[in-house]
Amino acid sequence: MGLCNSRIDKTTKEKTGATSTVATTAESQGSGRRRRPRDINSGGEIDEIKQVVGRLVGNGSSEMACLYTQQGKKGTNQDAMLVWENFCSRRDTVFCGVFDGHGPFGHMVAQRVRDILPFTLSTQLKMASVMEQSSSNDGLDSATCIDEEQWCELQPSEKDGKLLPEMYLSLKRALLKTCQQMDKELKMHPTINCFCSGTTSVTVIKQGKDLVVGNIGDSRAVLATRDEDNALIAVQLTIDLKPDLPSESARIQKCKGRVFALQDEPEVARVWLPNSNSPGLAMARAFGDFCLKDYGLISVPDINYRCLTERDQFIILATDGVWDVLSNKEAVDIVASAPCRNTAARAVVDTAVRAWRLKYPTSKNDDCAVVCLFLEDSSTAASMEVSERTNHSHKESTESVAMTSSKDGEKNEEAVIETDEIVPVWESKEEKMSESCTIESKKTTLAECISVKDDEEWSALEGLTRVNSLLSIPRFFSGELRSSSWRKWL
């Protein structure tokens, strides 16, 4: 009756090794059907998702995007990210997203949403196009079964309807339906326990000059653009959906959920069950977390539209591990000062890790994931950078010629004052050398200046750990995942 060490030779299709009354191979079953191997880490089946052309999910880069993630000090890296070029078989369409998991199985939930959500969205878009071609009078109610309150947000006003393109409404409808199906899929998943685990999601769909951003949770999307003075500024595209927002807090309290912060961390508002001090979720919207879905937590994305212009440079998508310690402008400046596009995302992560150690020395730094989507062509950006360097060098040479053309020291001093030069002309050569060295050091990237070597040891007081959920819910078996069973212990 015991198992044996038998296997099947693929060439001869005969068993080799010890014999047994029961065949225990992964190649075949009693019905003759091939069993698909399962991925233990993600809790799903191994398929050919990772082999899709133009799809990046790990640390790497392409001509128009750069991705990087790093594990924090809390355990398994629960952040996931994605860049999918030629999305929906369209050359002008790119899909980007970052997903921040939380809870015991947060890493599995984040990876599952990363893998399934874009495929579901692509299917919804194809179905919507077919339905529009077949009948244009079906309306929005036949497209999804989303609640009426959510449909009110979907319906555009008369002013917005004139300004927004046609693709926005269809894409918004498809994204709402996709998120609804994604949450249902997580609830029924056989191996991922999403009762007290979930993930945030911020996604960007760029189609030509049209940009649609969907946000669930507290991850963030920031756009780097230039103002009228050609200065680089940061524009936040999403709102951090925290529980202390008036609209989010009102919805949660209306559903009998509670919102308050702990005394140890008064700046972090959390969502709690009505009759228990758990789970303490630090966001108002998330995939999964079904213990709070009856008490105000939703998985409906906040969707916005923006028309891109020539002034827009790049977009930064990052999890809260980055935004907890870096401002929007700091992140934009880091990407802009990176030596090349391939290292831009890592520069942001390295700077965030160092900032965690400086700002929160008694806390464990969170996982960080960054996606940089560059909006302009790399050749165009390179030519602009060369032209800026040429103009700068030409300006410096002109100033130097103006200074050397003067005949006496007094004229030299006047020329220096007119050009706003801080260093006096009569300083020694050694002082100029030291000054030039410091200037050169300042020209390095921010990540290179404050990053720490990998082998450098760092120690701090083991204090409060900043987490997304303070879980104190008892463990459940697989058969007790429904709402009818977990209400007994409330």
Kindly state whether residue 3 falls inside one of the protein's structural domains: no
Is the pTM higher than 0.85? The answer reads: no
Q: Which helix (H) or strand (E) holds 202?
A: strand 201-207
Kindly state whether residue 426 falls inside one of the protein's structural domains: no
Kindly state whether residue 473 falls inside one of the protein's structural domains: no
Residue type, 149: E
Confidence (pLDDT) at 458: 42
Task: Assess contact for 193 and 186: CB atoms under 8 A.
Answer: no
CB count in 10 Å sphere of residue 267: 6
Cβ contacts of 355 within 8 Å, gap of 6 or more: 325, 326, 450
- The Cα–Cα gap between 346 and 309 comes to 27
Kindly state whether residue 279 falls inside one of the protein's structural domains: yes
Provide the 8-state DSSP code for 370. E
Cα dist from 143 to 178, 304, 352, whole Å: 11, 20, 42
The residue to which tokens 């212009």 are assigned: 309
Kindly state whether residue 442 falls inside one of the protein's structural domains: no
Confidence (pLDDT) at 80: 96
Kindly state whether residue 451 falls inside one of the protein's structural domains: no
- The Cα–Cα gap between 290 and 92 comes to 37
- The Cα–Cα gap between 235 and 243 comes to 23
Q: Which helix (H) or strand (E) holds 17?
A: strand 15-17
Phi-psi region of 79 (alpha: psi -120 to 50; beta: other; left: phi over 0): beta
- The Cα–Cα gap between 412 and 400 comes to 11
- Nearest Cα neighbor of 199 from 295, 278, 81, 306 is 81
CATH number of the domain enclosing 257 = 3.60.40.10
- The Cα–Cα gap between 207 and 93 comes to 4
Extract the tokens encoding 57: 């999910």
Extract the tokens encoding 74: 């809390």
- Nearest Cα neighbor of 447 from 353, 315, 323, 316 is 353
- Quote the domain boundaries for residue 361: 52-376
Cβ contacts of 218 within 8 Å, gap of 6 or more: 100, 200, 240, 241, 242, 282, 283, 320, 323
Phi-psi region of 178 (alpha: psi -120 to 50; beta: other; left: phi over 0): alpha
Extract the tokens encoding 292: 């709070």
Confidence (pLDDT) at 467: 76
Confidence (pLDDT) at 376: 80
CB count in 10 Å sphere of residue 81: 25
Cβ contacts of 198 within 8 Å, gap of 6 or more: 101, 102, 103, 106, 109, 281, 286, 287, 288, 289
Computed over its alpha carbons, how large is the radius of gyration of the chain?
Answer: 28
| Beta-ladder partners of 44 | 39
User: 168 phi and psi, to 5 degrees?
Assistant: -65, -45
Provide the 8-state DSSP code for 19. -
Phi-psi region of 229 (alpha: psi -120 to 50; beta: other; left: phi over 0): alpha
Phi-psi region of 114 (alpha: psi -120 to 50; beta: other; left: phi over 0): alpha
Confidence (pLDDT) at 50: 53
Phi-psi region of 470 (alpha: psi -120 to 50; beta: other; left: phi over 0): beta
Residue type, 240: D
Kindly state whether residue 29 falls inside one of the protein's structural domains: no
Helix (H, G, I), strand (E, B) or coil at 420: coil
Local confidence pLDDT in tens for the 490 residues of the chain:
444 444 444 444 444 444 333 343 443 444 444 444 444 344 444 455 556 777 899 999 999 999 999 999 888 999 999 999 999 888 899 999 999 999 999 999 999 999 999 999 999 998 887 876 665 544 444 334 445 445 444 444 434 545 788 889 999 999 999 999 999 999 999 999 999 999 999 999 999 999 999 999 999 999 999 999 999 999 999 999 999 999 999 999 999 999 999 998 899 999 999 998 889 999 999 999 999 999 999 999 999 999 999 999 999 999 999 999 999 999 999 999 999 999 999 999 999 999 999 998 888 889 999 999 999 875 555 545 544 454 444 444 444 444 444 444 444 444 434 433 333 333 444 444 444 444 444 444 445 545 444 444 444 333 445 678 877 765 554 444 444 444 433 3
Kindly state whether residue 24 falls inside one of the protein's structural domains: no
Confidence (pLDDT) at 382: 52
Task: Assess contact for 202 and 54: CB atoms under 8 A.
Answer: no
Number of compact structural domains in the chain: 1
Cα 74-76-79 angle, rounded to 5 deg: 95
